[in-house]
Structure 1
Amino acid sequence: MHKVLSDKKAIFLLIAPGLILFIFMICIPIFMSAYYGSTDWSGIGQYQYVGLSNYKEILFEDPVFWNSLWNALLLTAATLVIQHPIAILLAIFLTHCGKYEKIFRTIFFIPAVISIVVTAKLWSGIFHPNYGLLNKFLEGIGLGVLKHDWLGDPNTAIWCIIVVVMWQGFGYALLLYYSGLQGIPKDLGEAAKIDGATHTQLYSRIMIPLLAPMMRVAIIIAVTTCLKQMETVFLMTNGGPANSTQFLGNYIYKVAFSSSLYGYGNAISVLFIVFCLILTVVLNKALKKDVGEF
């Protein structure tokens, strides 16, 4: 093994397949998108080179692009501030459920295994203004005055989308934190209890800090998922009403394929990649922290 690792030709042959795939599947498509983003092209036939005009228009004259980016950041913030703290609390709850642990774990993970199409149709029905379960519930408890066209109002539609996305992705966040807690040696908790630590002190000063590496993974996955959100939006509102629920993934599809502005759509995708790279670097630096061994 030492001879193989010291042989540069052998090392190159080992990494060559992965490197070739990376170049042809990642690098070349990005460069092609950057080039097509500088053209006025419908995706078929001749195209005209327009330089940086598409990028300038997106950055300075396209409010839908910025609204789509804002919605992605809003979803990210809601996920990190609401979904993840609840997931941590329920993960702690699962560790104390005893024989009912598997039952609760299955119940909490059910939304994650439901098809996105089924989820979108389910929640679209719940939010329906006429026969939706939410309005029926409000009417049933005497709050009929609050009945609303939840997906038809720009002020409430985005929050409905955020609720649905967080509900569907909750199981994965819970599973990550639960597995992280299971990986912490039990003797640490027992030693803390012997030393007189309360449950609050046990989790706030020992368990949660030791959960930091898993938190980092969960946060990066959550941010990535929120930024590339498309399917739920496409199936429930397609970015409407008035682009109030537009996300960048759905907006790129709508511009490039529905409006046949292929060059403009590629320019949006390139700026999206640049933004994701910047955010990834910032996150890695912000979350980078040495964690002691158990």
Structure 2
Amino acid sequence: MLRTDAEHASQKKRSKLLQNASFQKLLFLFVALVPTFGGYLVFGLYPNLLSVYYSLLDWNGISKAKFIGLENYGRLFMDHYVWRALGHNLFYMATVPLITIFISLVLAYLLTNKGYAGTAIFKVLFFFPNVLSTVVVSLLWAFIYDGSFGLLNAFLKLIGIDMNGFYWLGDTRTALAALVPPLVWAGVGFYIVIFMNAMSTIPKSLYECAVLEGASHMTRLFRITIPLISPLIRVSTVFLVLGTLKSLDLVLILTRGGPAGSTDVIGLYMFNMAFGEQVQNYGYASAIGMFLFLILVGAKLVVDKLIPDRGYEY
């Protein structure tokens, strides 16, 4: 009898605890956050911390690791291939985000404010490249740039410019710039959709007042639309800048960093150092990864400085 009363009291206490609002909130936070945070610790934070340790080793992943301290970092700053690859990354960082944001803003503004028929269809068409895998996008652009039967050479020949089988990705003079259009094409559709959704929240009355004042479409775009969605433009710029610094998949498939290293990027160089056929040095690759991390942090701070986080109200 005493045991039954004790069990009943314990059950009643548990029931009261479960009905408590604070306990329910803590339980929800635990269930919602622990799996995600645990996954981040195991698959995100732990490998990054391990890379810091690997960067202090001379290790090919198979033989016994040798602790060498900061030698990998000293080698890194003397390695001109790293700086050449970083220069290519900076070129993409200066061109791809700017072109992508500009094209996305103009097209999103036209589709939102010009009242074209079939706007929803245009959104689907522009977003389509984001559905394709990087391999498919790379193969499409490899076909466009092909010297023998590529679409680009065929178009130029149609307007009277015969390139004589020129292969755009096989020449050191054009290979680096030729990778900009695929990078822009692969990302512009996503930002068009994002900007269109943001522009649709701007009150039409603002545009109507501007029309009455005689403002042109360009004036409305730069004086009304862009200031009101500037926080979103800032975030998009950060994503694009960091994405161009980290990207290596499209370069790997299209050129493998060639010809003669003219399209090599720092992520691809790090990949080749770790998993290359001739060189396998996990320690040096990890040091390059830490260097890339510092560059990413620096790029984020630069973007924050150049594009201040201020919003406009209407």
Identity level (%): 32
- Give 3-state SS (helix, strand or coil) of 2:168's partner: coil
Partners of 2:107 and 2:192 within 8 A in 1:
yes
Q: Alpha-carbon deviations, 1:55-99, whole Å to 9, x = none?
A: 11111x212211222212211211233222121111111012343
Q: Alpha-carbon deviations, 1:104-145, whole Å to 9, x = none?
A: 222222222222211111111221222222223333333115
Q: 1:261 aligns with which of 265, 277, 281?
A: 281
Q: 2:88 aligns with which of 39, 56, 71?
A: 71
**C-alpha deviation, 1:243, in angstroms:** 1.4
Q: TM-score, normalised by structure 1?
A: 0.89
Amino acid at match of 2:62: I
Q: Which runs of 5+ in 2 are unaligned?
A: 1-19
- Give 3-state SS (helix, strand or coil) of 2:175's partner: helix
Match of 1:132 in 2: 150
Match of 2:264 in 1: 246
Q: How many residue pairs end up in the alignment?
A: 292
Partners of 1:139 and 1:147 within 8 A in 2:
no
Match of 2:139 in 1: 121
Q: 2:299 aligns with which of 279, 282, 285?
A: 279
Q: 1:142-153 counterparts in 2 under 5 A?
A: 142-145=160-163, 147-153=165-171
Q: 2:181 aligns with which of 158, 163, 176?
A: 163
Match of 2:219 in 1: 201
**C-alpha deviation, 1:277, in angstroms:** 1.3
Partners of 2:96 and 2:184 within 8 A in 1:
yes
Partners of 1:40 and 1:263 within 8 A in 2:
yes
- Give 3-state SS (helix, strand or coil) of 1:170's partner: helix
Counterparts of 2:163 and 2:310, CA distance in 1: 53
Structure 2 residue 287 is matched with structure 1 residue 270 = no
Name the stretch that deviates more: 252-261 or 146-155: 146-155
Match of 2:208 in 1: 190
Match of 1:87 in 2: 104
Partners of 1:176 and 1:218 within 8 A in 2:
no
Counterparts of 2:148 and 2:198, CA distance in 1: 44
Partners of 1:4 and 1:10 within 8 A in 2:
no
Q: Residues 253 and 206 from structure 1, CA distance in 2 versus in 1: closer, same or farther, beyond 3 angstroms?
A: same
Counterparts of 1:91 and 1:33, CA distance in 2: 41
Q: Alpha-carbon deviations, 1:140-175, whole Å to 9, x = none?
A: 333115752211111211111111111111111212
Q: TM-score, normalised by structure 2?
A: 0.83
Partners of 2:242 and 2:299 within 8 A in 1:
no
**C-alpha deviation, 1:229, in angstroms:** 0.8
Structure 2 residue 61 is matched with structure 1 residue 49 = no
Name the stretch that deviates more: 194-203 or 275-284: 194-203
**C-alpha deviation, 1:278, in angstroms:** 1.8
Partners of 2:241 and 2:299 within 8 A in 1:
no
Counterparts of 2:178 and 2:216, CA distance in 1: 39
Amino acid at match of 1:261: N
- Give 3-state SS (helix, strand or coil) of 1:144's partner: coil
Counterparts of 1:200 and 1:167, CA distance in 2: 23
Amino acid at match of 1:158: L
**C-alpha deviation, 1:43, in angstroms:** 0.7
Amino acid at match of 2:298: I
Match of 2:159 in 1: 141
Match of 1:292 in 2: 312
**C-alpha deviation, 1:203, in angstroms:** 2.3
**Could you say which structure has the larger radius of gyration?**
2
Over aligned residues, Cα RMSD in angstroms?
Answer: 2.6
Q: Which runs of 5+ in 1 are unaligned?
A: none
Counterparts of 1:29 and 1:182, CA distance in 2: 42
